[in-house]
Chain A
Amino acid sequence: MKWDTVIGLEVHAQLATATKLFSAAPTVFGAPANTQTSFVDAGFPGTLPVLNREAVLMALKFGLAINGQINDYCFFERKNYFYPDLPKGYQISQYAQPIISNGYLNIEDGNLCKKIWIERAHLEEDAGKLIHDPEKGRSMIDLNRAGIPLLEIVTAPCLHSINEAILYLKTLHQLLRFLGICDGNMQEGSFRCDANISLKPKGSQQLGCRVELKNLNSFRFIEKALTYEQQRQQLLLDQGRPVSQETRLFCENTGTTKLMRSKETAQDYRYIPDPDLLPINLAEFDQRTIKNNLPPLPFTLKNSLQQMGLHKEDIQFLLASPANYNFYAAVVAQGSVDHNLLVQWLRGSCAAVLKEHKRDFSDPPFTAQDFFKLVNALQKETITAFRAKKFLAAAVTEGSNLADLVAQEEIQTLVPSASIEEFIEGLLRNNPQQVYDYQQGNEKIFGYFIGKVMHFCKGQADPKQIHALLKKFLH
């Protein structure tokens, strides 16, 4: 290819504070329109913004986690423009002095390993939402989202392939969640991405003309949009035609990008330091303590899990969300346990039954302590896998207590050997043809007999025991 691809990414992450960046209104997603909107959020006359300290703390955590420069003297500025979802006619943001600058994130998968430079991360308030109702010929404004804290994270134009871009986004997404500062829910708008992409002649130092892409609502769509745009630009450049600097929207239906607005007349936001807010007093925050108390971060966790001998897919599962990892860690903290067995069960039956009932590890219907008991029992073989699965299902659907189920099972006598033997004898006596077929070499009959014995035992017998007994009787 005669063109190099250059990508820069801007992520807006909603910080998981209880209240908004400048007011005490709550930030819960999905509330009825305008029920989580204070007069400050709605820009009513005479109201004033007051900074939410928790948001600053979260931004600091991010800055420390990416080894960024924490800017001791930083302040808020007003970004001025008129739009119905912007109640004050300006957005309180940061421009000249962001809270964080010059950090980095290491990305790696099997094939590549790279350091991605994050030029800046700054705090700003989110805007409201417009809901269009073409049928009734009107648009409606919901200000619940107005004022929610955002951390805008901007990379340098240092991503050189779409793979790198997606890997960076996934790594960033994971980091934010493991820091506990953003829930990363893209459907709810907690993690939003705009991409800038340009092409330049291979090996050239000079960047080409970039196009901004918006409306990218999932990793899959981001990949599609970048791919399409890369091809579109390549086609133009191959024909000797220039790429215009513009903003394009991604259309999910067609998988293409189309022009939203031309950036030749870039908007002048007339930034002005916000006179209602003091510069952020970072001296209040003990950065060293904050850094030491950061939760264990994905790349550290990955290393330790690798050292424990877990497989790549298992590690991926555990690090897919903080809830997954935290639950695993909580179980491990209960005592000695077979890690592989534990992860196998978490990733397999446990995850499956949770997913089936639209739940996850953030709020499981059993405690880590109870789950530890289950895995222990499996390890000691005092319960069977079959029964264990049933117990998990019961915990999810009926709210039964997992530990009680396990305990009961261990007390209950399994079907005594004598009874099984008696049954097997009768079974074989009543099915002489099958016995003969098996002895002639039809292995499948064995499975048929196993099934019959299991059914008789109602799952309350050790499969290995059944297997051994049957073999004994058949030979």
Chain B
Amino acid sequence: MNSFSISEALTALSKGTLSSVELVTNCLQQIAQHKKLNALISLVDAGHALAQAQEADSLRAAGKGSIFTGIPIVHKDNFCTIGLRTTCGSRMLANFVPPYEATIVHKLTQAGAITLGKTNMDEFAMGSTGETSYFGSTLNPWHQQYSPGGSSSGSASAVAAGLALAATGSDTGGSIRQPAAFCGVSGLKPTYGRVSRYGLIAYASSFDQAGVIAKSAEDLALLLKTIAGVDDKDATSLCYPVPDYPSLLNQSLRGVRIALPRAFFQETIATPEVRQAIDAAVHVFVDAGAQIIEVELKYLHLWVPCYYLIACAEASTNLARYDGLRFGLQVQDTETVHDMVMHSRSLGFGSEVKRRILAGTHALTAQNFSASYLQALKIRRLIQQELLAIFTQADLLIGPTTPTPAPRLGLAMSNNSTTYDSDIFTVGANLAGIPAISIPVGFHRQLPLGMQIMASHFAEAKLLNAAHQYQKMTDWHKYAPPQKEKKI
């Protein structure tokens, strides 16, 4: 039951060989047994979850269920949940209980999903190893000395360890895809504007996108169908019809054109094991009839600096609201408002968050604006244009999700720019606003490896189809971490 995908669970539920109560009970047990992973910041009351499961079983029995009735999920802790603490992995919001909920949470709840808890994350989504969380690092369920990735650390870890059947995540520079790759699960970042950002606590507004992590592309298709769609509470969500993704997974790969950027496969950009795994995966596609087109990415070396500059600039203004006056941490016994705000922010934010706020503030100062921020916007457009041009000649773009498998915990803190550089493959999709998915393609010393597939705006159906076809021909996605900790 630990490695049930949603699809498998739904089949079992409809057949009656499984009940929601059993499913939820099992997840709660897994959660209890895997406390050490530190994947969850908040857990709902078990009694409440089981009551919901019972109700789900009744609804299903009466033929009144919805798509996700009785399916247990968890939400990344930057999605506002009514009455349930939402911390963003930060001391600043350690006691913040939202009186409203994120649209994506609302939609999944309306579709019957049962929320079990809120997952751990890098603070305010800034980080790629889970180590900037105020609530301590999340561990990789495959090897507990290793990072699960970030910033959706807890979400990926939870799905891999069977704590829930799916998790929501947010992806600003790779925060869904990279942890999915490190934890051996499937993660989707939709097209920017495909899913509402209302209730997703902002890090970098023009990059942030709400997405999902699950065991298979098939599951992701089900989830995307529910969460996608325009929202009048989010002016950047787009009024684009939502296809029936689950019914579009069975197109043949014959004739599908796959772009492989030469730069993604050169020696220095990724470790040999990663490159080999991707090569093998590409062969699977070729064997199924896909065509390969080699392409150039002239601006690849600008992806990471461009992303970080704009993201930090936007973050610096998005986080200005945390002043302790209306919500969040408020330091007492100060003389002036200025002191109170200063001390609250100094105490409330961790060092990575401060670093990015300062860098962003600096980029936006009058003397730096043109050469920094404005220049980055122009470069962003060039990067986007280059990627979109590729999709006039190809359906998909494939490459590694990460340069290496999961790093050991404790390495990242000592060397920021290396950590930032490891986002090389993922930030492009955020810069261009295009959808991207990461799926498992192998292992290196029992640590999972992921492959990334990108497509053009609103071409999620193509992505999911390709991923699903691959998962029909391989079984990397079916592996689950050993129940007992494995030492390397």
Contacts and interface: CB of A to CB of B under 8 A. Distances in A.
Given A46-B199, A278-B236, A80 B364 contact: yes
Interface string B20-56: 0000000000000000000000000000000000000
A387 interface: no
B341 A276 contact: no
A44 interface: yes
A interface SS class: loop
Interface string B360-396: 0100111001000100000000000000000000000
A268 B366 contact: yes
A275 B373 CA distance: 13
B314 A275 contact: yes
B98 A277 contact: no
A298 interface: no
B235 interface: yes
B317 A90 contact: yes
B321 to A, nearest CB: 4
Interface stretch (A48-56, A178-186, A231-239, A328-336): A48-56
Interface stretch (B217-225, B275-283, B322-330): B322-330
A47 B337 CA distance: 24
Interface string A31-61: 0000000010011111111110000000000
Contacts of A89: 317, 319-323
B206 A272 contact: no
A274 to B, nearest CB: 8
Given A84-B337, A87-B321, A272-B313, A45 B327 contact: yes
B168 to A, nearest CB: 13
Given A82-B320, A82-B341, A90-B317, A43 B326 contact: yes
Contacts of B202: 45-46, 276
A49 B326 CA distance: 18
A272 B198 contact: no
B320 A270 contact: no
A141 interface: yes
Interface in A51-110: 51, 78, 80, 82, 84, 87-90
A271 B374 CA distance: 11
Interface residues of B, number: 45
Nearest to A81: B320
B88 interface: yes
A48 B314 contact: no
A272 B201 CA distance: 19
Nearest to B310: A275
A44 B235 contact: no
Given A44-B327, A50-B232, A270 B321 contact: no
Contact of A45 (B201, B205, B206): B201
A276 B319 CA distance: 14
Nearest to A22: B235
Interface string B179-202: 000000000000000000111111
Interface of A: 39, 42-51, 78, 80, 82, 84, 87-90, 139, 141, 268, 270-272, 275-278
29 contacts: A39-B99, A43-B321, A44-B98, A44-B321, A44-B327, A45-B98, A45-B327, A46-B100, A48-B198, A49-B235, A51-B235, A78-B317, A80-B320, A84-B325, A87-B321, A87-B326, A89-B323, A90-B320, A139-B337, A270-B361, A270-B366, A271-B369, A272-B364, A272-B373, A275-B206, A275-B314, A276-B235, A277-B235, A277-B236
